[in-house]
Amino acid sequence: MGNAEPPPHQVVASDLRRRLAAGEWEVGAKLPSRAQLAQHYGVGPNVMQKAVERLIVEGLLEGRAGSGTYVTPPRERRRMIRSRHRERRGGSPFRADMSEIGSSGTWEASSEARTPAPQSIARRLGIQPGDPTVRTTYEFLADGKPAQISTSWEPMAITGDTPILLPEMGPLAGKGVVERMRSIGIDVESWLELPRPARATDEQAALLALSTGDLVLAIERTYYASDGRAVETADIVVPDRHWEVAYEFAVDPPEPT
């Protein structure tokens, strides 16, 4: 048996992609209406809609409400690498990540102590809903431009009576979760990240200089101590238009024979 034919919307998207690459429409140009394109390709409106949405997700087109679909400038996506070794460098992982690609990494943060843990966050931290946490919101900048945003939660049962209660204040301000926890005798052994594609909310779009509904990567991250306790969890949002996220894994050396 031969390979199955691709769905119609993929065929249409592929041809539109070819025409865009050939320069049939200039950057900023408005495409024919979706009805006109559907007639040209001999497909229904739903197929055309899916084809155009595919190219919008890829960043080749931009839909403007009440106006139409336009050709976007070629986007420069930089690579943000997340590695199992990133925490071994000491200090802020974000600053180290940006330094490796020749950028200056800075951030602004705001913390609120005694924030009751929402149910989903309590589940990730292994605590009871409503237990007190320190909630910290971050806006990370690369060379002064928005690169990612994050909201983290740390159980006050762990940090409440210590100098590291507020992540961005005290003697270890801005040093990162691993180094801060080590200072109070907690050895962070691992972390888990769960990435999911998502669409920017109004608030996220405003902070990341995006349009509402633009594609983002939402990463759910949790740090675990050597005794299995979750010591911090965070929701990280990275704008897909400007960044691609890569995961780097090292091969363990062979065990001695």
Query: In this structure, what token pair is assigned to residue 136?
Result: 């910290």
Q: From residue 77, give the alpha-carbon distance in Å to each of 92, 225, 243, 245.
A: 23, 34, 5, 10
pLDDT tens per residue, range 103-156? 778 889 999 999 999 999 999 999 999 999 999 999 999 888 899 999 999 999
46 burial level (CB within 10 Å; 0-12, 13-18, 19+): exposed
The answer to whether the CB of 225 falls within 8 A of the CB of 187 is: yes
Neighbours of 23 (CB within 10 A): 9
Tell me: pLDDT of 234 over 60: yes
pLDDT tens per residue, range 54-80? 888 767 898 888 889 999 887 677 778
